[in-house]
Amino acid sequence: MPRAEREQQMMAVAEEVFAERGYVATSVDDIAERCGVSKPMIYEYFGSKEGLLVACIRQARTELAKATTESVIGAQSAEDALRRGLVAFFEFTDTHRRAWSLMLRSEAAVAGPAAAAEIEALRQEQVEIDVALFRSFLPDAPEVELEASAHVVVGACERLSLWYVSRDDVTAEQAADHIMRALWTGMQSLVRD
């Protein structure tokens, strides 16, 4: 099997088994065996067990960034952009449940500094997107308020995503709606302080 294909297989298997049994409880030998190869191949391609996890996270991160970026194309207003971004986010976390719970339940911090940095980068990316968005419709709000609000939204989304994937009766649209209702009015009031 060519390298690129084998790497994808390894990442898919790793994502599945890490999410299922946890990072610590999973041995590299396990993953290798499920792929039908031996352990040194994984070290050849990913350098370390943590490197394999980082690759999984990075791939998911790239896909999330792509999905949310594309979703806001053609938005009619800041509110519309925020809502579209939220829907895309919740859809992503729903279709990539394994990768997402991997990030959040987060084996990452425990796995090592590189994996932890990858997760922090993901959050920082989301925070920056939100700050930019808020600034666009609240140009007079102080920077510290925008940043705090962005962290509030990012945290709210993280938790709500984990909650709603555990419920079959809540859709991505409803989750996005909920964040909008809960936060939108408050966000707008920031400019009055």
Partner DNA sequence: CAAGTAACCTACTCCGAGTAAGCTTGACCC
Partner DNA sequence: GGGTCAAGCTTACTCGGAGTAGGTTACTTG
- List residues binding a copy of itself (CB under 8 A): 22-25, 105-107, 109-113, 116, 123, 144-145, 147-149, 151-160, 162-164, 169-170, 175, 178-179, 181-187, 189-190, 193
The distance of closest approach from Cβ of residue 163 to a copy of itself in the complex, given in angstroms and rounded to an integer, is 4
Please give the Cα distance from 60 to 53 (Å, whole number).
11
- 11, two tokens: 């990442």
Q: How far apart are CA 56 and CA 11, in angstroms?
A: 6
Binding of residue 37 to DNA (CB under 7 A): yes
The Cα 81–Cα 69 span in angstroms is 10
Partner interacting with residue 69 (select from DNA, a copy of itself, none; CB below 5-8 Å by kind): none
179 binds, options a copy of itself, DNA, none, Cβ within 5 to 8 A by partner type? a copy of itself
Least distance between DNA and beta carbon 54 (Å): 11
Cα–Cα distance for residue pair 151/165, rounded to 1 Å? 21
Q: Which residues sit at the interface with DNA, rule CB under 7 A? A: 1-3, 6, 26-29, 32, 36-41, 43-44, 48-50
